[in-house]
Amino acid sequence: MEQASTIITKPLRVDTHLGKFSQATVVVLTGLAFLLSQPLIVLLTAIIMALSVIVPVASPFKWLYRGIVLPLHILKPRIVEDDPAPHRFAQGVGATFLIASSIVLFFTHLTILGWTLDLIVWSGRRFVANQRQQALAAPLPDTLIDGKMNGVTPVANRAPVRILAFSSEDCKQCHQLQAPVLQRVVAARADQITVVEIDAPNEPDLTQRYHVLTVPTTVVLDATGRAHAVNYGFANTQKLLAQVDELLD
């Protein structure tokens, strides 16, 4: 007799506080390297970031976080449902810029170019924050008034909260992770939420209006159409429900 086997897929988890600690450390190191004019610090940071991408279990960020930050109760773990792949990709991009910066600073006389590459990594978080602030100030476009757009889930268009879900046809994270989360959020808050699914490549006006940097991106709107929260990348159930409840309360 053949026995059917059931494959149980564990949800992907990420410690958001480890991510923030890693980002803050990179900002401090790249800024310090520029202020002290020390290319060696740039190279060291590049190696640390590259190692964290290639061998995550050997990440120096993780060692410092678990060996010093957590024991001293500076931060507490915050484990959420998320895909670590995009975070590692972002670290890989940062490492690439810093490796290029190191090569330029050590082997050429193009000092300005070398430090510019370093400062691009240093200013990355500020750039994202800037884009988010502009998205939060964006008015609701006419195409979304009264839900006049394809992709609106079958709930009341007059719901007090709307979630714009930007995705693309080839975005696996959008369909495999973000879509189920949106379904759970709608199920939890019933007719109080309208979800508008937007194909980002085919809606350049909306993508530019809300400064979408990646997919998935979710924008939470209040009853007046004003953006309350913008989430670049995957947003877990807990995070979206908290943002929705802030408006419903």
52 and 145 together in one domain: no
Q: Give percent of the chain above pLDDT 70.
A: 89
Interval 144-156: pLDDT, tens: 655 445 443 333 4
Per-residue confidence (pLDDT) for residue 106, from 0 to 100: 96
**Residue 173, CB half-sphere, CA atoms under 13 Å: how many?**
20
Report yes or no on 5 lying in a domain: no
Which residues of the chain form beta strands (DSSP E)?
13-15, 79-81, 161-167, 193-199, 217-221, 227-232
Whether residues 158 and 239 fall in one domain: yes
Domain that holds residue 179: 139-248
- SS3 state at 217: strand
- Residues with Cβ < 8 Å from 19, sequence gap 6 or more? 87
Q: 171: domain CATH number?
A: 3.40.30.10
pLDDT over 70 at 5, yes or no: no
**Averaged pLDDT score across all residues of the chain:** 87
pLDDT digits (tens, 9 = 90+) for 106-125: 999 999 999 999 999 999 87
Q: Is residue 1 part of a domain?
A: no
Q: How confident is the model at residue 240 (pLDDT cuts 50, 70, 90)?
A: very high
The answer as to whether 6 is a domain residue is no
pLDDT computed for residue 190 by the predictor: 83
Of 69-78, 136-145, 204-213, the one with minimum mean pLDDT is: 136-145
**Domain boundary at 60, 92, 122, which?**
122
What is the domain count for the chain?
2
